[in-house]
Protein backbone atom coordinates (compact mmCIF):
# COMPACT_ATOMS: atom_id res chain seq x y z
CA UNK A 1 0.00 0.00 0.00
CA UNK A 2 1.43 3.41 -0.97
CA UNK A 3 1.56 6.37 1.41
CA UNK A 4 -1.46 8.12 -0.13
CA UNK A 5 -3.65 5.03 0.23
CA UNK A 6 -2.53 4.62 3.84
CA UNK A 7 -3.42 8.22 4.65
CA UNK A 8 -6.87 7.82 3.05
CA UNK A 9 -7.58 4.66 5.04
CA UNK A 10 -6.41 6.39 8.26
CA UNK A 11 -8.67 9.38 7.61
CA UNK A 12 -11.59 7.05 6.95
CA UNK A 13 -10.95 5.22 10.24
CA UNK A 14 -10.65 8.49 12.15
CA UNK A 15 -13.85 9.75 10.53
CA UNK A 16 -15.66 6.56 11.53
CA UNK A 17 -14.43 6.99 15.13
CA UNK A 18 -15.60 10.60 15.13
CA UNK A 19 -19.01 9.62 13.75
CA UNK A 20 -19.34 6.87 16.36
CA UNK A 21 -18.33 9.28 19.13
CA UNK A 22 -20.74 11.91 17.82
CA UNK A 23 -23.53 9.35 17.77
CA UNK A 24 -22.65 8.38 21.32
CA UNK A 25 -22.80 12.00 22.49
CA UNK A 26 -26.10 12.58 20.75
CA UNK A 27 -27.61 9.41 22.24
CA UNK A 28 -26.48 10.49 25.72
CA UNK A 29 -28.09 13.91 25.17
CA UNK A 30 -31.32 12.30 24.05
CA UNK A 31 -31.38 10.07 27.14
CA UNK A 32 -30.81 13.01 29.49
CA UNK A 33 -33.33 15.16 27.62
CA UNK A 34 -30.89 18.06 27.65
CA UNK A 35 -28.77 20.12 25.32
CA UNK A 36 -25.09 20.97 25.80
CA UNK A 37 -22.96 23.91 24.71
CA UNK A 38 -19.24 23.18 24.39
CA UNK A 39 -17.26 26.44 24.51
CA UNK A 40 -13.69 26.44 23.19
CA UNK A 41 -12.12 29.46 24.92
CA UNK A 42 -9.07 29.60 22.61
CA UNK A 43 -11.17 29.81 19.43
CA UNK A 44 -14.15 31.58 21.01
CA UNK A 45 -16.34 28.97 19.32
CA UNK A 46 -19.43 27.16 20.62
CA UNK A 47 -20.43 23.67 19.56
CA UNK A 48 -23.98 22.44 20.25
CA UNK A 49 -24.80 18.85 21.18
CA UNK A 50 -28.43 17.77 21.67
CA UNK A 51 -31.81 19.27 20.76
CA UNK A 52 -31.23 22.96 21.50
CA UNK A 53 -34.33 23.84 19.42
CA UNK A 54 -36.57 22.36 22.13
CA UNK A 55 -35.32 25.09 24.48
CA UNK A 56 -34.74 28.17 22.26
CA UNK A 57 -35.93 29.42 18.87
CA UNK A 58 -32.41 30.56 17.92
CA UNK A 59 -29.00 28.97 17.36
CA UNK A 60 -25.96 29.50 19.55
CA UNK A 61 -22.62 29.40 17.79
CA UNK A 62 -20.82 32.44 19.21
CA UNK A 63 -20.51 34.17 22.58
CA UNK A 64 -22.70 37.02 21.31
CA UNK A 65 -25.46 34.57 20.42
CA UNK A 66 -25.02 32.94 23.85
CA UNK A 67 -26.21 36.17 25.50
CA UNK A 68 -29.62 35.74 23.90
CA UNK A 69 -30.33 33.22 26.66
CA UNK A 70 -30.82 36.20 28.98
CA UNK A 71 -33.88 37.20 26.96
CA UNK A 72 -35.58 33.90 27.82
CA UNK A 73 -35.27 33.76 31.63
CA UNK A 74 -37.24 35.84 34.13
CA UNK A 75 -35.60 39.00 35.48
CA UNK A 76 -34.86 37.81 39.06
CA UNK A 77 -32.62 35.06 37.63
CA UNK A 78 -30.54 37.22 35.23
CA UNK A 79 -27.63 38.05 37.53
CA UNK A 80 -27.21 34.50 38.89
CA UNK A 81 -27.33 33.16 35.31
CA UNK A 82 -24.64 35.64 34.16
CA UNK A 83 -22.41 34.45 37.00
CA UNK A 84 -22.98 30.82 36.03
CA UNK A 85 -22.22 31.36 32.33
CA UNK A 86 -19.09 33.39 33.15
CA UNK A 87 -17.86 30.72 35.53
CA UNK A 88 -14.21 31.65 34.88
CA UNK A 89 -14.63 34.98 36.70
CA UNK A 90 -15.39 33.25 39.97
CA UNK A 91 -12.82 30.50 39.32
CA UNK A 92 -15.41 27.85 40.13
CA UNK A 93 -15.25 24.48 38.43
CA UNK A 94 -18.99 23.67 38.63
CA UNK A 95 -22.24 25.53 39.21
CA UNK A 96 -25.98 24.88 38.85
CA UNK A 97 -29.03 27.16 38.66
CA UNK A 98 -32.80 26.77 38.11
CA UNK A 99 -34.55 29.64 36.30
CA UNK A 100 -38.17 30.34 35.47
CA UNK A 101 -38.80 31.57 31.91
CA UNK A 102 -40.26 35.01 31.30
CA UNK A 103 -43.50 33.45 30.07
CA UNK A 104 -43.69 31.60 33.38
CA UNK A 105 -44.59 28.30 31.71
CA UNK A 106 -41.27 26.48 32.12
CA UNK A 107 -38.38 25.97 34.48
CA UNK A 108 -34.89 25.51 32.98
CA UNK A 109 -31.90 24.15 34.81
CA UNK A 110 -28.42 25.38 33.74
CA UNK A 111 -25.32 23.44 34.71
CA UNK A 112 -21.80 24.75 34.01
CA UNK A 113 -18.47 23.01 34.18
CA UNK A 114 -15.11 24.65 33.37
CA UNK A 115 -11.64 23.29 32.72
CA UNK A 116 -8.60 25.45 33.59
CA UNK A 117 -5.01 25.37 32.34
CA UNK A 118 -1.92 25.69 34.50
CA UNK A 119 -2.28 29.49 34.61
CA UNK A 120 -5.93 29.14 35.85
CA UNK A 121 -7.27 30.35 32.53
CA UNK A 122 -10.38 28.67 31.16
CA UNK A 123 -9.47 26.34 28.35
CA UNK A 124 -12.98 25.03 27.72
CA UNK A 125 -16.41 25.13 29.27
CA UNK A 126 -19.62 23.07 29.03
CA UNK A 127 -23.07 24.46 29.75
CA UNK A 128 -25.88 21.91 30.10
CA UNK A 129 -29.51 22.96 29.71
CA UNK A 130 -32.42 20.81 31.03
CA UNK A 131 -36.20 21.20 31.31
CA UNK A 132 -37.08 20.62 34.98
CA UNK A 133 -40.63 21.99 34.83
CA UNK A 134 -42.30 18.76 35.89
CA UNK A 135 -39.83 18.14 38.73
CA UNK A 136 -40.19 21.76 39.86
CA UNK A 137 -43.99 21.54 39.89
CA UNK A 138 -43.83 18.28 41.80
CA UNK A 139 -41.44 19.87 44.27
CA UNK A 140 -43.71 22.89 44.66
CA UNK A 141 -46.68 20.58 45.14
CA UNK A 142 -44.86 18.61 47.83
CA UNK A 143 -43.76 21.87 49.38
CA UNK A 144 -47.38 23.06 49.37
CA UNK A 145 -48.54 19.85 51.04
CA UNK A 146 -45.95 20.32 53.77
CA UNK A 147 -47.48 23.68 54.71
CA UNK A 148 -51.12 23.69 53.59
CA UNK A 149 -54.22 21.56 53.87
CA UNK A 150 -55.31 20.38 50.41
CA UNK A 151 -59.08 20.52 50.97
CA UNK A 152 -59.29 24.05 52.43
CA UNK A 153 -56.08 25.90 51.52
CA UNK A 154 -55.56 26.70 55.22
CA UNK A 155 -52.35 25.87 57.06
CA UNK A 156 -52.06 22.19 57.95
CA UNK A 157 -51.63 20.99 61.53
CA UNK A 158 -47.81 20.72 61.57
CA UNK A 159 -47.11 24.11 60.01
CA UNK A 160 -49.77 25.77 62.17
CA UNK A 161 -48.10 24.42 65.31
CA UNK A 162 -44.76 25.79 64.10
CA UNK A 163 -46.22 29.25 63.40
CA UNK A 164 -48.12 29.22 66.69
CA UNK A 165 -44.87 28.33 68.45
CA UNK A 166 -43.24 31.38 66.85
CA UNK A 167 -46.16 33.50 68.09
CA UNK A 168 -45.69 32.18 71.63
CA UNK A 169 -41.94 32.92 71.57
CA UNK A 170 -42.61 36.43 70.37
CA UNK A 171 -45.33 36.91 72.99
CA UNK A 172 -42.92 35.83 75.74
CA UNK A 173 -40.37 38.48 74.76
CA UNK A 174 -42.99 41.19 74.19
CA UNK A 175 -45.21 40.18 77.14
CA UNK A 176 -48.23 39.79 74.88
CA UNK A 177 -51.20 37.43 74.72
CA UNK A 178 -51.76 34.63 72.20
CA UNK A 179 -55.28 33.23 71.87
CA UNK A 180 -56.18 29.91 70.30
CA UNK A 181 -59.74 29.34 69.11
CA UNK A 182 -60.80 25.79 68.30
CA UNK A 183 -63.89 25.62 66.09
CA UNK A 184 -65.89 22.39 65.75
CA UNK A 185 -68.86 22.12 63.38
CA UNK A 186 -71.78 20.66 65.36
CA UNK A 187 -73.33 17.37 64.17
CA UNK A 188 -71.24 17.36 60.99
CA UNK A 189 -71.90 13.64 60.58
CA UNK A 190 -75.52 14.48 59.80
CA UNK A 191 -74.39 16.38 56.70
CA UNK A 192 -72.33 13.39 55.55
CA UNK A 193 -75.12 10.94 56.36
CA UNK A 194 -77.89 13.06 54.86
CA UNK A 195 -76.24 14.53 51.76
CA UNK A 196 -73.20 12.33 51.22
CA UNK A 197 -69.43 12.68 51.63
CA UNK A 198 -69.00 14.83 48.51
CA UNK A 199 -71.23 17.58 49.85
CA UNK A 200 -69.76 17.15 53.31
CA UNK A 201 -66.33 17.87 51.81
CA UNK A 202 -67.72 20.90 50.01
CA UNK A 203 -69.06 22.30 53.29
CA UNK A 204 -65.61 21.79 54.85
CA UNK A 205 -64.04 23.74 51.93
CA UNK A 206 -66.55 26.59 52.09
CA UNK A 207 -66.18 27.03 55.83
CA UNK A 208 -62.39 26.86 55.46
CA UNK A 209 -62.51 29.56 52.76
CA UNK A 210 -64.50 31.75 55.11
CA UNK A 211 -61.93 31.31 57.90
CA UNK A 212 -59.14 32.08 55.43
CA UNK A 213 -60.71 35.51 54.93
CA UNK A 214 -60.17 36.15 58.65
CA UNK A 215 -56.41 35.59 58.29
CA UNK A 216 -54.11 38.56 58.70
CA UNK A 217 -50.64 39.40 59.96
CA UNK A 218 -51.77 38.55 63.50
CA UNK A 219 -54.33 35.82 62.74
CA UNK A 220 -53.45 32.39 61.33
CA UNK A 221 -56.01 29.72 60.41
CA UNK A 222 -55.63 25.94 60.31
CA UNK A 223 -57.72 22.93 59.33
CA UNK A 224 -56.87 20.46 62.09
CA UNK A 225 -58.91 17.50 60.83
CA UNK A 226 -62.37 16.54 59.59
CA UNK A 227 -64.75 19.26 60.87
CA UNK A 228 -62.33 20.93 63.30
CA UNK A 229 -60.45 24.20 62.65
CA UNK A 230 -58.11 26.31 64.73
CA UNK A 231 -57.21 30.02 64.80
CA UNK A 232 -54.09 31.49 66.37
CA UNK A 233 -54.35 35.18 67.31
CA UNK A 234 -51.38 37.32 68.35
CA UNK A 235 -52.14 40.27 70.65
CA UNK A 236 -55.93 39.94 70.24
CA UNK A 237 -57.61 43.31 70.20
CA UNK A 238 -60.03 45.33 68.08
CA UNK A 239 -61.19 43.51 64.97
CA UNK A 240 -58.75 40.71 65.82
CA UNK A 241 -60.08 40.18 69.33
CA UNK A 242 -61.56 36.81 70.24
CA UNK A 243 -65.01 38.29 70.80
CA UNK A 244 -64.97 40.17 67.47
CA UNK A 245 -63.91 37.04 65.56
CA UNK A 246 -66.51 34.99 67.41
CA UNK A 247 -69.19 37.47 66.37
CA UNK A 248 -68.01 37.32 62.75
CA UNK A 249 -68.23 33.52 62.82
CA UNK A 250 -71.67 33.65 64.46
CA UNK A 251 -72.93 36.05 61.77
CA UNK A 252 -71.65 33.78 59.00
CA UNK A 253 -73.06 30.49 60.30
CA UNK A 254 -76.44 32.14 60.83
CA UNK A 255 -76.69 32.20 57.02
CA UNK A 256 -76.93 28.94 55.06
CA UNK A 257 -74.08 27.49 53.02
CA UNK A 258 -75.19 26.74 49.46
CA UNK A 259 -73.66 23.50 48.19
CA UNK A 260 -73.22 22.24 44.63
CA UNK A 261 -76.67 20.69 44.39
CA UNK A 262 -78.27 23.99 45.44
CA UNK A 263 -78.89 22.36 48.82
CA UNK A 264 -78.83 24.95 51.61
CA UNK A 265 -77.20 23.82 54.86
CA UNK A 266 -77.28 25.83 58.08
CA UNK A 267 -74.77 24.87 60.75
CA UNK A 268 -73.74 25.84 64.24
CA UNK A 269 -70.26 25.63 65.76
CA UNK A 270 -68.82 24.94 69.19
CA UNK A 271 -65.82 27.11 70.05
CA UNK A 272 -63.25 26.67 72.80
CA UNK A 273 -60.67 29.35 73.64
CA UNK A 274 -57.34 29.04 75.48
CA UNK A 275 -54.86 31.89 75.99
CA UNK A 276 -51.13 32.18 76.55
CA UNK A 277 -49.82 32.60 79.20
CA UNK A 278 -52.89 31.93 81.38
CA UNK A 279 -53.82 28.46 80.10
CA UNK A 280 -50.50 27.10 78.80
CA UNK A 281 -46.92 28.04 77.96
CA UNK A 282 -46.42 26.18 74.65
CA UNK A 283 -48.19 25.90 71.30
CA UNK A 284 -49.14 22.24 71.72
CA UNK A 285 -50.46 22.77 75.25
CA UNK A 286 -52.51 25.75 74.06
CA UNK A 287 -54.13 23.61 71.36
CA UNK A 288 -54.77 20.83 73.89
CA UNK A 289 -56.39 23.27 76.32
CA UNK A 290 -58.56 24.71 73.55
CA UNK A 291 -59.60 21.17 72.64
CA UNK A 292 -60.49 20.41 76.26
CA UNK A 293 -62.86 23.39 76.53
CA UNK A 294 -64.34 22.58 73.11
CA UNK A 295 -65.16 19.06 74.30
CA UNK A 296 -66.57 20.55 77.49
CA UNK A 297 -68.73 22.88 75.42
CA UNK A 298 -70.01 20.02 73.24
CA UNK A 299 -70.95 18.03 76.34
CA UNK A 300 -73.11 20.96 77.47
CA UNK A 301 -74.80 21.38 74.11
CA UNK A 302 -74.49 22.71 70.57
CA UNK A 303 -73.49 26.25 69.61
CA UNK A 304 -71.42 27.00 72.73
CA UNK A 305 -68.53 29.41 73.30
CA UNK A 306 -66.27 28.53 76.23
CA UNK A 307 -63.09 30.01 77.70
CA UNK A 308 -60.51 27.77 79.33
CA UNK A 309 -60.07 27.89 83.10
CA UNK A 310 -58.23 25.77 85.67
CA UNK A 311 -61.28 23.83 87.00
CA UNK A 312 -62.02 22.58 83.47
CA UNK A 313 -58.46 21.25 83.15
CA UNK A 314 -58.72 19.59 86.56
CA UNK A 315 -62.01 17.97 85.60
CA UNK A 316 -60.55 16.77 82.29
CA UNK A 317 -57.49 15.24 83.97
CA UNK A 318 -59.70 13.50 86.53
CA UNK A 319 -61.77 12.14 83.64
CA UNK A 320 -58.66 10.75 81.90
CA UNK A 321 -57.47 9.26 85.17
CA UNK A 322 -60.87 7.66 85.71
CA UNK A 323 -60.88 6.21 82.17
CA UNK A 324 -57.52 4.61 82.88
CA UNK A 325 -58.81 3.17 86.17
CA UNK A 326 -61.91 1.76 84.48
CA UNK A 327 -59.89 0.00 81.78
CA UNK A 328 -57.59 -1.44 84.43
CA UNK A 329 -60.60 -2.60 86.49
CA UNK A 330 -62.08 -4.33 83.41
CA UNK A 331 -58.83 -6.19 82.80
CA UNK A 332 -58.17 -7.05 86.45
CA UNK A 333 -61.81 -7.78 87.47
CA UNK A 334 -61.76 -4.84 89.84
CA UNK A 335 -65.53 -4.39 90.14
CA UNK A 336 -67.83 -5.82 92.80
CA UNK A 337 -71.59 -6.20 93.08
CA UNK A 338 -73.64 -5.15 96.09
CA UNK A 339 -77.32 -5.88 96.45
CA UNK A 340 -80.02 -3.62 97.95
CA UNK A 341 -83.20 -5.31 99.19
CA UNK A 342 -86.73 -4.30 98.16
CA UNK A 343 -89.73 -4.98 100.39
CA UNK A 344 -93.46 -5.14 99.84
CA UNK A 345 -94.99 -2.12 101.48
CA UNK A 346 -97.94 -3.99 103.06
CA UNK A 347 -96.34 -7.00 104.77
CA UNK A 348 -92.68 -5.92 104.65
CA UNK A 349 -91.69 -9.23 103.05
CA UNK A 350 -88.65 -9.39 100.80
CA UNK A 351 -89.63 -8.72 97.21
CA UNK A 352 -86.16 -8.85 95.63
CA UNK A 353 -82.63 -7.46 95.30
CA UNK A 354 -81.25 -4.77 93.01
CA UNK A 355 -77.68 -5.46 91.84
CA UNK A 356 -75.51 -2.34 92.21
CA UNK A 357 -71.95 -2.06 90.92
CA UNK A 358 -69.18 -0.92 93.24
CA UNK A 359 -65.67 0.12 92.30
CA UNK A 360 -62.61 0.71 94.46
CA UNK A 361 -59.32 1.98 93.07
CA UNK A 362 -55.87 0.72 94.07
CA UNK A 363 -55.92 2.94 97.15
CA UNK A 364 -59.11 1.15 98.25
CA UNK A 365 -61.06 4.40 97.88
CA UNK A 366 -64.64 3.76 96.78
CA UNK A 367 -65.65 5.68 93.66
CA UNK A 368 -69.30 6.58 93.28
CA UNK A 369 -71.17 5.17 90.27
CA UNK A 370 -72.41 8.74 89.64
CA UNK A 371 -68.78 9.57 88.76
CA UNK A 372 -67.58 6.56 86.75
CA UNK A 373 -70.80 5.48 85.00
CA UNK A 374 -71.15 8.73 82.93
CA UNK A 375 -67.48 8.42 81.91
CA UNK A 376 -68.01 4.78 80.94
CA UNK A 377 -71.09 5.73 78.90
CA UNK A 378 -69.10 8.39 77.10
CA UNK A 379 -66.08 6.28 76.14
CA UNK A 380 -67.95 3.04 75.40
CA UNK A 381 -66.75 1.07 78.45
CA UNK A 382 -70.35 0.89 79.67
CA UNK A 383 -70.99 -2.08 77.33
CA UNK A 384 -68.30 -4.44 78.76
CA UNK A 385 -69.04 -3.15 82.29
CA UNK A 386 -72.79 -3.72 81.82
CA UNK A 387 -72.20 -7.18 80.37
CA UNK A 388 -70.05 -8.08 83.38
CA UNK A 389 -72.74 -6.85 85.80
CA UNK A 390 -75.41 -8.86 83.98
CA UNK A 391 -73.42 -12.10 83.98
CA UNK A 392 -72.08 -11.75 87.51
CA UNK A 393 -75.53 -10.98 88.99
CA UNK A 394 -77.19 -13.91 87.17
CA UNK A 395 -74.33 -16.23 88.14
CA UNK A 396 -74.61 -15.20 91.80
CA UNK A 397 -78.37 -15.63 91.75
CA UNK A 398 -77.86 -19.15 90.40
CA UNK A 399 -75.54 -19.90 93.37
CA UNK A 400 -78.15 -18.61 95.84
CA UNK A 401 -80.82 -20.75 94.22
CA UNK A 402 -78.63 -23.82 94.66
CA UNK A 403 -77.61 -23.00 98.25
CA UNK A 404 -80.85 -21.57 99.66
CA UNK A 405 -83.62 -22.29 97.15
CA UNK A 406 -84.45 -18.56 96.94
CA UNK A 407 -87.11 -17.24 94.58
CA UNK A 408 -86.97 -13.45 94.94
CA UNK A 409 -86.69 -10.98 92.04
CA UNK A 410 -83.23 -9.98 90.83
CA UNK A 411 -83.14 -6.43 89.39
CA UNK A 412 -80.33 -5.44 87.02
CA UNK A 413 -79.76 -1.99 85.51
CA UNK A 414 -79.35 -1.98 81.71
CA UNK A 415 -77.87 0.92 79.71
CA UNK A 416 -79.10 2.17 76.36
CA UNK A 417 -75.81 1.11 74.74
CA UNK A 418 -76.28 -2.45 75.97
CA UNK A 419 -79.90 -2.77 74.93
CA UNK A 420 -79.25 -1.49 71.40
CA UNK A 421 -76.59 -4.19 70.81
CA UNK A 422 -77.85 -6.58 68.14
CA UNK A 423 -77.20 -9.71 70.22
CA UNK A 424 -78.39 -8.40 73.60
CA UNK A 425 -81.55 -10.54 73.89
CA UNK A 426 -79.77 -13.73 72.76
CA UNK A 427 -76.84 -13.06 75.11
CA UNK A 428 -79.18 -12.51 78.09
CA UNK A 429 -81.14 -15.74 77.54
CA UNK A 430 -77.86 -17.59 77.00
CA UNK A 431 -76.74 -16.49 80.50
CA UNK A 432 -80.08 -17.46 82.08
CA UNK A 433 -79.77 -20.92 80.53
CA UNK A 434 -76.10 -21.27 81.48
CA UNK A 435 -76.74 -20.51 85.18
CA UNK A 436 -80.18 -22.18 85.24
CA UNK A 437 -82.11 -19.07 86.30
CA UNK A 438 -85.82 -18.77 85.47
CA UNK A 439 -86.50 -15.57 83.43
CA UNK A 440 -89.55 -14.96 85.68
CA UNK A 441 -87.21 -13.98 88.55
CA UNK A 442 -85.25 -11.46 86.47
CA UNK A 443 -86.15 -7.76 86.22
CA UNK A 444 -84.32 -5.34 83.93
CA UNK A 445 -84.30 -1.71 85.03
CA UNK A 446 -84.10 0.93 82.31
CA UNK A 447 -84.16 4.72 82.62
CA UNK A 448 -86.47 6.91 80.57
CA UNK A 449 -83.50 8.25 78.57
CA UNK A 450 -83.07 4.81 76.99
CA UNK A 451 -86.16 5.53 74.89
CA UNK A 452 -84.47 8.43 73.11
CA UNK A 453 -82.20 6.04 71.16
CA UNK A 454 -84.83 4.32 69.01
CA UNK A 455 -88.29 4.05 70.54
CA UNK A 456 -89.64 1.36 68.21
CA UNK A 457 -86.49 -0.77 68.40
CA UNK A 458 -86.37 -0.54 72.22
CA UNK A 459 -90.06 -1.40 72.55
CA UNK A 460 -89.63 -4.39 70.26
CA UNK A 461 -86.79 -5.74 72.41
CA UNK A 462 -88.79 -5.09 75.58
CA UNK A 463 -91.68 -7.17 74.20
CA UNK A 464 -89.38 -10.02 73.21
CA UNK A 465 -87.94 -10.06 76.74
CA UNK A 466 -91.36 -9.81 78.36
CA UNK A 467 -92.78 -12.63 76.26
CA UNK A 468 -90.10 -14.94 77.74
CA UNK A 469 -91.05 -13.93 81.31
CA UNK A 470 -88.46 -11.20 82.00
CA UNK A 471 -89.91 -8.27 83.96
CA UNK A 472 -89.26 -4.70 82.69
CA UNK A 473 -88.94 -1.79 85.12
CA UNK A 474 -88.87 1.90 84.15
CA UNK A 475 -86.35 3.52 86.50
CA UNK A 476 -86.09 7.11 87.79
CA UNK A 477 -89.58 8.00 86.56
CA UNK A 478 -90.26 11.73 86.66
CA UNK A 479 -86.69 12.92 86.07
CA UNK A 480 -86.54 12.50 82.28
CA UNK A 481 -88.98 13.34 79.53
CA UNK A 482 -91.95 11.69 81.29
CA UNK A 483 -94.98 11.51 79.04
CA UNK A 484 -98.25 9.63 79.48
CA UNK A 485 -98.53 9.27 75.72
CA UNK A 486 -95.47 7.01 75.50
CA UNK A 487 -95.95 5.39 78.93
CA UNK A 488 -99.16 3.62 77.86
CA UNK A 489 -97.31 2.18 74.83
CA UNK A 490 -94.43 0.66 76.81
CA UNK A 491 -94.37 -3.07 77.64
CA UNK A 492 -93.35 -2.60 81.30
CA UNK A 493 -94.23 -4.31 84.59
CA UNK A 494 -92.81 -1.90 87.14
CA UNK A 495 -92.40 1.84 87.52
CA UNK A 496 -89.84 3.22 89.99
CA UNK A 497 -90.47 6.65 91.52
CA UNK A 498 -87.23 8.63 91.70
CA UNK A 499 -85.61 9.45 95.05
CA UNK A 500 -85.90 13.20 94.37
CA UNK A 501 -89.69 12.91 94.85
CA UNK A 502 -89.36 10.85 98.04
CA UNK A 503 -86.91 13.35 99.60
CA UNK A 504 -89.51 16.16 99.68
CA UNK A 505 -92.77 14.23 99.67
CA UNK A 506 -93.42 15.09 103.35
CA UNK A 507 -92.58 18.79 103.08
CA UNK A 508 -93.76 19.90 99.65
CA UNK A 509 -97.43 19.80 98.70
CA UNK A 510 -96.71 19.87 94.94
CA UNK A 511 -94.45 16.81 95.28
CA UNK A 512 -97.19 14.98 97.21
CA UNK A 513 -99.74 15.70 94.49
CA UNK A 514 -97.38 14.43 91.77
CA UNK A 515 -96.40 11.32 93.78
CA UNK A 516 -100.01 10.40 94.54
CA UNK A 517 -100.93 10.95 90.88
CA UNK A 518 -98.10 8.68 89.70
CA UNK A 519 -99.06 5.86 92.08
CA UNK A 520 -102.76 6.17 91.14
CA UNK A 521 -101.84 6.10 87.44
CA UNK A 522 -99.57 3.08 87.92
CA UNK A 523 -102.35 1.12 89.60
CA UNK A 524 -104.79 2.04 86.81
CA UNK A 525 -102.32 0.84 84.17
CA UNK A 526 -101.74 -2.42 86.04
CA UNK A 527 -98.08 -1.78 86.84
CA UNK A 528 -96.24 -2.29 90.10
CA UNK A 529 -94.95 0.85 91.86
CA UNK A 530 -91.55 1.00 93.61
CA UNK A 531 -90.42 4.01 95.68
CA UNK A 532 -86.63 4.26 95.97
CA UNK A 533 -84.64 6.27 98.47
CA UNK A 534 -86.97 5.69 101.46
CA UNK A 535 -84.94 6.67 104.53
CA UNK A 536 -87.52 7.77 107.13
CA UNK A 537 -90.32 5.92 108.91
CA UNK A 538 -92.75 8.73 108.10
CA UNK A 539 -91.94 8.43 104.39
CA UNK A 540 -92.72 4.72 104.54
CA UNK A 541 -96.04 5.26 106.38
CA UNK A 542 -97.10 7.91 103.86
CA UNK A 543 -96.23 5.73 100.86
CA UNK A 544 -98.04 2.77 102.42
CA UNK A 545 -101.10 4.95 103.01
CA UNK A 546 -101.31 6.13 99.36
CA UNK A 547 -101.00 2.59 97.99
CA UNK A 548 -97.32 2.26 96.95
CA UNK A 549 -96.49 -1.42 96.32
CA UNK A 550 -92.76 -1.70 97.04
CA UNK A 551 -90.19 0.36 98.94
CA UNK A 552 -86.43 0.43 98.65
CA UNK A 553 -84.00 2.50 100.71
CA UNK A 554 -81.77 2.81 103.73
CA UNK A 555 -84.73 2.53 106.13
CA UNK A 556 -85.08 -1.18 105.39
CA UNK A 557 -81.67 -2.01 104.02
CA UNK A 558 -78.51 -0.49 102.56
CA UNK A 559 -76.64 -2.09 99.63
CA UNK A 560 -75.07 -5.32 100.94
CA UNK A 561 -72.11 -7.49 100.03
CA UNK A 562 -72.69 -11.10 98.96
CA UNK A 563 -71.84 -12.31 102.49
CA UNK A 564 -74.34 -9.89 104.05
CA UNK A 565 -77.08 -10.97 101.63
CA UNK A 566 -76.48 -14.61 102.51
CA UNK A 567 -76.71 -13.76 106.21
CA UNK A 568 -80.02 -11.98 105.52
CA UNK A 569 -81.34 -15.02 103.62
CA UNK A 570 -80.36 -17.40 106.45
CA UNK A 571 -82.16 -15.25 109.01
CB-based contact 553:502 (threshold 8 Å): yes
| Other C-beta atoms lying within 10 Å of the C-beta of residue 22 | 11
96: domain CATH number?
3.30.450.20
Q: Are residues 299 and 159 in the same domain?
A: yes
Q: Considering only residues 496 and 8, tell me which one the structure prediction assigns the higher pLDDT.
A: 496
> Quick check: is 171 in a domain?
yes
CB-based contact 129:37 (threshold 8 Å): yes
Share of the chain above pLDDT 90, in %: 33
Q: Are residues 429 and 289 in the same domain?
A: no
Which of 103-107, 266-270, 430-434, 484-488 reaches the highest mean pLDDT?
A: 430-434
Q: Are residues 344 and 491 in the same domain?
A: yes
> Quick check: is 232 in a domain?
yes
The span from the CA of 283 to the CA of 161, in Å, is 6
271: domain CATH number?
3.30.70.270
Asked if pLDDT for residue 20 goes beyond 70, the answer is: no
The span from the CA of 118 to the CA of 122, in Å, is 10
Asked if pLDDT for residue 379 goes beyond 80, the answer is: no
User: Residue 25: its pLDDT value, please?
Assistant: 60
Asked if pLDDT for residue 13 goes beyond 70, the answer is: no
Q: Are residues 390 and 519 in the same domain?
A: yes
Residue of 509, 537, 503 whose CA lies nearest to 345: 537
Residue-averaged pLDDT of the chain:
84
> Quick check: is 471 in a domain?
yes
Q: Are residues 161 and 229 in the same domain?
A: yes
Write down the pTM of the prediction: 0.59
558: domain CATH number?
3.20.20.450
3-class state of residue 244 by DSSP: helix
For 21-50, the pLDDT digits (tens) are 566 566 665 556 678 888 887 777 788 877
Q: Considering only residues 528 and 379, tell me which one the structure prediction assigns the higher pLDDT.
A: 528
3-class state of residue 497 by DSSP: strand
- 103, 137, 171 - which closes a domain: 137
Torsion 188-194-199-201 (CA) sign? positive
Reported confidence tier of residue 178, pLDDT bands at 50, 70, 90: very high
- 308, 341, 375 - which closes a domain: 308
CB-based contact 263:148 (threshold 8 Å): no
Tell how many helices (H) and how many strands (E) occur in the chain.
21, 21
H/E stretch holding 392 reads helix 382-404
Count up the domains in the chain and report the number. Answer: 3
> Quick check: is 196 in a domain?
yes
For 257-308, the pLDDT digits (tens) are 988 777 888 889 999 999 998 888 889 989 988 888 888 888 777 788 888 8
> Quick check: is 17 in a domain?
no
User: Residue 436: its pLDDT value, please?
Assistant: 94
Residue 126: give the domain boundaries.
33-137
> Quick check: is 28 in a domain?
no
> Quick check: is 23 in a domain?
no
Q: Are residues 390 and 504 in the same domain?
A: yes
Amino acid sequence: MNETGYQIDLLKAMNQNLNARDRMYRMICEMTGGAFLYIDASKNEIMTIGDLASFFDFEIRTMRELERIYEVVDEPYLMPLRELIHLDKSHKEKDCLECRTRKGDRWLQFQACASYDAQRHVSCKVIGIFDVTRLKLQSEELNYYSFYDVSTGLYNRNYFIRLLGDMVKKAKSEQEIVSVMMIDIDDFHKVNDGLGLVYGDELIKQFGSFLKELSSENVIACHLNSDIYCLGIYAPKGASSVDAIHQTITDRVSRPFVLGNAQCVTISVTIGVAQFPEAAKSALDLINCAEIVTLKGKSIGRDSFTYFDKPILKEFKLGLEMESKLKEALQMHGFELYYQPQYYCGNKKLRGMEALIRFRDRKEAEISPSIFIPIAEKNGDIIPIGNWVMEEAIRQYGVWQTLFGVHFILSINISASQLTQNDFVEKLFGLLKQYQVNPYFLELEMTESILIEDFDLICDKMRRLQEKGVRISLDDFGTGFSSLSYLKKLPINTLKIDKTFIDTVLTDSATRIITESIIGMVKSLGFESVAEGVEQEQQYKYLHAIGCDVIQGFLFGKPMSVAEVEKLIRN
